[in-house]
Amino acid sequence: MSQPATLPAPGSTPGAAPASPPAFSLRLACGLLGVLLAAMLAGLSDRLPGLALADISGALGFSHDGASWLNTAYAAGELAVMPFATWCAITFSLRRFHLWMLGTTLALAAVLPFLHALSVMIIVRAIQGFTAGALIPLLMMSALRFLPLSIRLHGLALYAMTATFAPNIALWLASLAVDKLSDWHWIYWIMLPPGLLAFILVAWGIPVMPPALARIKQGNWFGMAFGIPGLSLLAIGLDQGVRLDWFNSPVICAAFLCAAVFCSIFIISEWFHPTPFIRLQLLERRNLWLGFILFICLLVIMSTAVVLPATILEDIQGFRLPQVAVMGLMVGVPQLVIGPLVALLLYQPWVDARKTFALGLLCIALSCWLNTRITDQWMTAQFTTSVLLQMIGQPLSIISLLFLATSVVQPMEGPYVSGIINTLRAAGTVFGAALIEQISYLRGSFHSEMLLNNLGGRWPEASSSVSTGQVAEWVSQQSALLSTADIYYLFTFVTLLLIPAVLCLKYIPAPRLPASTPPAAPAPASPSTTASNG
């Protein structure tokens, strides 16, 4: 089977030999641990303020509509930086660029609680989204560059934890900051101690590499001038669309129109530029274009694992964050063990990653189907089985997908793939939240109308014993339950539809680890080994 054509390394000149990665050591492992920790903190810096938005807006006197722009600004900055982060890391050196982005993110987190003007906080959150968003692509880039083949899949498992571990423990951390520490300031400050640890680990462990400043003249600056505002406007349109009623709002219409034009110019310029930030030609490979479509769908579906049950329990039972945080811990904490085990499983020669991917989707589909039976009597315990299925299904799906996608690219193409997949990840996360919110609104309105129509004929009989407020509260709760069940029905069906698409991915055999040979008398490479490595 022929290997995919190797593209030049980002910014390399033709004929230049790619620099070999440094030998893996304990010091480098510590540096990679710092990169992992920083990437997780980047995800938490997005999730935590969103979960505690009511506490923040209440403490500072912001309206809900005004405070919602704090999350939108962060999402816009995060999406805007994704295609360019790995290029900047190569140009200015990975260690230097990472430390600058991490240091700026932590500094902004330290000062944010002291800012009480909404407009200033929105600007600072946008900058923080830009600097923190740059940290996530660097994790995949570092794993593909520094980890030897014998543990590279474990590196992908660590990257997967930014989608399966960090978002799920955010509920517990938010409850710790707001309820245990009893101060909304800790929503931002709680990230400072692990952030400083990550800074030290990266500064000590990541090798010092010379910058490649000559690449600056080769950059697609014309494309970047359109890409950054285009992606930012796309995030704004998606995040504010439900609140502003989509295309009935001139703000949303203008955002989507400009985003479509700017992003189109960016994509076209990237396609034809000799040294692009992300090489879109890689998407011609089946495991990449199909895998990335599956990745976006999976991100949307995974958002129902913890956030949706937590939201409905807050609505119908009046639960607070500490009462629903246990569900996040049930999904997130076991990923520290399950992730490496899935990576170890994929190293076995008898394992087909497509089938483990499909098995993970089956677990997620079953989890969604179990939640379609939700009633107003459900508590946290009733979600336990579905949460445990998500705990198993998420790492099986995500890690298998990453293995199938990254196995069809060469190591020098890693920065390109990292930029593409993380751009899609950021866009998919915002799109998923908007989709679920829109479905909840539409189905909730439908069920409210149907319930009120059914009550209409019996209202005179019940009006003497039931107040209007009680009826309104009951209709609101029941419509929320029914719309949540509808979402789970839909995602059960969609998840099952993804399984045939997964089986259409190109089969990738388990990685063949290099056999250790005595250093004194190395055996000559056999023809079969040469062929497999070629």
The reported pLDDT for the residue numbered 202 is: 96
Distance separating alpha carbons of residues 269 and 254, to the nearest angstrom: 22
The reported pLDDT for the residue numbered 88 is: 95
The reported pLDDT for the residue numbered 511 is: 80
Q: Which residues contact 117 (CB under 8 A, 6 or more apart)?
A: none
What's the angle, vertex CA 108, arms to CA 103 and CA 111, rounded to 5?
A: 130
Query: Packing angle between helix 64-81 and helix 53-60, nearest 10 degrees?
Result: 120
**Distance from the Cα of residue 382 to its chain's centroid:** 27
User: What's at 60, amino acid-wise?
Assistant: L
Distance separating alpha carbons of residues 21 and 322, to the nearest angstrom: 45
Q: Are 325 and 306 in contact (CB under 8 A)?
A: no
Distance separating alpha carbons of residues 37 and 30, to the nearest angstrom: 10
φ, ψ of residue 523 to 5 degrees: the values are -75, 140
* CA distances in angstroms from 243 to 66, 246, 258, listed in the order given: 11, 8, 19
Closest to 287 (Cα-Cα) out of 501, 5, 511: 501
The reported pLDDT for the residue numbered 465 is: 63
Q: Are 343 and 154 in contact (CB under 8 A)?
A: yes
The reported pLDDT for the residue numbered 460 is: 54
Q: Are 308 and 436 in contact (CB under 8 A)?
A: yes
Q: Are 328 and 168 in contact (CB under 8 A)?
A: yes
Closest to 68 (Cα-Cα) out of 336, 391, 434, 315: 434
Distance separating alpha carbons of residues 221 and 223, to the nearest angstrom: 5
Question: Mind giving me the DSSP string for 203-271?
Answer: HHHSPP----GGGGGGS-HHHHHHHHHHHHHHHHHHHHTTTTTGGGSHHHHHHHHHHHHHHHHHHHHHH
Alpha-carbon torsion angle 447, 449, 454, 456, nearest 10: 150
Distance separating alpha carbons of residues 516 and 502, to the nearest angstrom: 35
The reported pLDDT for the residue numbered 94 is: 93
Return the biggest CA–CA distance within the chain: 96
The reported pLDDT for the residue numbered 472 is: 80
The reported pLDDT for the residue numbered 488 is: 96
The reported pLDDT for the residue numbered 495 is: 96
The reported pLDDT for the residue numbered 146 is: 86
Start-to-end C-alpha separation, the chain: 10
**Counting beta carbons within 10 angstroms of the beta carbon of residue 238, is it exposed (0 to 12), middle (13 to 18) or buried (19 or more)?**
buried
The reported pLDDT for the residue numbered 15 is: 36
For tokens 């319930």, the residue is 451
**Distance from the Cα of residue 340 to its chain's centroid:** 19
**Distance from the Cα of residue 120 to its chain's centroid:** 26
Distance separating alpha carbons of residues 497 and 491, to the nearest angstrom: 10
Distance separating alpha carbons of residues 229 and 95, to the nearest angstrom: 27
Per-residue pLDDT tens, the chain, 534 aa: give them.
334 434 444 444 433 434 566 777 889 999 999 999 999 999 999 999 988 888 899 889 999 899 999 999 999 999 999 999 999 999 999 999 999 999 999 999 999 999 999 999 999 999 999 999 999 999 988 888 888 877 888 888 888 888 888 888 988 998 888 887 778 899 999 999 999 999 999 999 999 889 999 999 999 999 999 999 999 999 999 999 999 999 999 999 999 999 999 999 999 999 999 999 999 999 999 999 999 999 999 999 998 888 899 889 988 888 888 888 889 999 999 999 999 999 999 999 999 999 999 999 999 999 999 999 999 899 999 999 999 999 999 999 999 999 999 888 887 888 898 999 999 999 999 999 999 999 999 999 999 888 888 876 665 555 556 677 777 888 888 899 999 999 999 999 999 999 999 999 999 998 876 654 444 444 444 443 433 333
φ, ψ of residue 348 to 5 degrees: the values are -75, 135
Q: Are 508 and 347 in contact (CB under 8 A)?
A: no
Specify the length of the chain in residues. 534
Whole-model pTM above 0.85?
yes
